[in-house]
């Protein structure tokens, strides 16, 4: 059995490209021959939609795993990408925090649920909040990937996010690392994008991935066709960027493992 590398895709800011990155990075890693499981930890349930799974087909969800103690194997589904598996979410997950909030071990439910899965990578799409669901992701994960949008307020909120990661590290998961920060929705024609990118690199140095995801309309269109962009339009700039991101990540991990 392979012990998976579990990555939480986190940013408490909404609409910065978490779900888009989780879907497309998962698809690109699958294309590279990795066994990948995507966990949708956001009650909005967008990851499943973007992978071609209608709401009516989501029978057992991450809610059942976290709140009802269902084995995670019951919730793992096929997706439109051959080989890529998904644990879908459900709107009920919005109340999970209340339901599990006073249980002992409430921060490690997901970690325990994932302790026996057989994958190379598990990517967790987090909600836009630093709530108990995100804390469960931080406790299960080996590393954190932070998508940052190339806009003026990009760095705002980052210190709070880094503090939360430090808190998780101190209290529940001493092995947790920041895998990296990745810039997305980069607009070449916009000087602000270049300025923000330079600023972020100055502050965070090598933690920032070299690969930058451009603002690309094909990336935004793909979910309405229930496909990741690398299936919807394999040759567009967005597809190439997500494949580059997967390759850069695999390169980093092959250096840091063992």
Which residues would be at the binding site for Mg ion (CB under 5 A)? 18-19
When asked if residue 213 is in the footprint of ligand ATP (CB under 6 A), the reply is yes
E strand or H helix at 65:
helix 62-67
Alpha carbon distance 188, 65 (integer Å): 43
Given a contact cutoff of 8 angstroms between Cβ atoms, the answer to whether 144 and 168 are in contact is no
When asked if residue 233 is in the footprint of ligand ATP (CB under 6 A), the reply is no
Structure tokens at 26: 């998962």
Q: Which residues pair with 36 in a beta bridge?
A: 121
When asked if residue 41 is in the footprint of ligand ATP (CB under 6 A), the reply is no
Among 5, 18, 58, 85, binds ligand ATP (CB under 6 A): 18
Q: Which stretch binds ligand ATP (CB under 6 A): 72-80, 85-93, 98-106, 212-220?
A: 212-220
Residue 45 beta carbon to ligand ATP: minimum distance, rounded to whole angstroms: 10
Q: Edge-to-edge strand order for the sheet containing 36-40?
A: 77-78, 85-87, 36-40, 121-125, 5-9, 143-149, 177-184
Using CB under 6 A as the binding rule, the residues of this chain from 119 to 158 that contact ligand ATP are: 128
Given a contact cutoff of 8 angstroms between Cβ atoms, the answer to whether 2 and 118 are in contact is yes
Closest CB to Mg ion among residues 89, 107:
89
When asked if residue 88 is in the footprint of ligand ATP (CB under 6 A), the reply is no
Residue 205 beta carbon to Mg ion: minimum distance, rounded to whole angstroms: 27
Backbone torsions φ then ψ of 184, nearest 5 degrees: -135, 170
Residue 255 beta carbon to Mg ion: minimum distance, rounded to whole angstroms: 29
Among 19, 61, 89, 143, binds ligand ATP (CB under 6 A): 19
Given a contact cutoff of 8 angstroms between Cβ atoms, the answer to whether 22 and 8 are in contact is no
Residue 229 beta carbon to ligand ATP: minimum distance, rounded to whole angstroms: 9
Helix 158-171 × helix 132-140 angle, to 10°: 60
Closest CB to Mg ion among residues 19, 107:
19
**Angstrom distances, CA of residue 178 to CA of 116, 165, 206, 236, 238:** 23, 8, 11, 29, 24
Residue 50 beta carbon to ligand ATP: minimum distance, rounded to whole angstroms: 8
Q: Which stretch binds ligand ATP (CB under 6 A): 15-23, 116-124, 150-158, 204-212?
A: 15-23
Q: What is the DSSP string of 194-212?
A: HHHHHHHHHHHGGGB-S--
When asked if residue 97 is in the footprint of ligand ATP (CB under 6 A), the reply is no
Residue 121 beta carbon to ligand ATP: minimum distance, rounded to whole angstroms: 18
């Amino acid at each position: 059995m392979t012990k998976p590398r579990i990555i939480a895709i986190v940013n408490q800011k909404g609409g910065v490209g978490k779900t888009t990155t989780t879907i497309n990075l998962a698809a690109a890693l699958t294309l590279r021959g990795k066994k990948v499981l995507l966990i949708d930890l956001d009650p909005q349930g967008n990851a499943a939609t973007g992978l071609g799974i209608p709401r009516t087909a989501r029978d057992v969800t991450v809610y059942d795993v976290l709140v009802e103690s269902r084995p995670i194997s019951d919730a793992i589904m096929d997706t439109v990408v051959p080989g890529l598996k998904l644990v879908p979410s459900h709107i009920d997950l919005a109340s999970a925090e209340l339901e599990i909030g006073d249980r002992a071990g409430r921060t490690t439910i997901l970690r325990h649920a994932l302790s026996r899965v057989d994958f190379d990578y598990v990517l967790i799409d987090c909600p836009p909040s630093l709530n108990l669901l995100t804390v469960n992701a931080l406790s299960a994960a080996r590393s954190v990937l932070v998508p940052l949008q190339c806009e003026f307020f990009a760095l705002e909120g980052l210190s709070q996010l880094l503090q939360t990661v430090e808190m998780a590290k101190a209290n529940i998961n001493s092995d947790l690392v920041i895998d990296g920060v990745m810039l997305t929705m980069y607009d070449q024609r916009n000087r602000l994008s270049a300025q923000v990118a330079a600023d972020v690199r100055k502050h965070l140095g090598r933690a920032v991935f070299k690969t930058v995801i451009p603002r690309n309309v094909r990336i935004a269109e793909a979910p309405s066709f229930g496909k990741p962009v690398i299936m919807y339009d394999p040759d567009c700039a967005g597809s190439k960027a997500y494949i580059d991101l997967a390759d850069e990540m695999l390169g980093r991990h092959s250096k840091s493992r063992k």
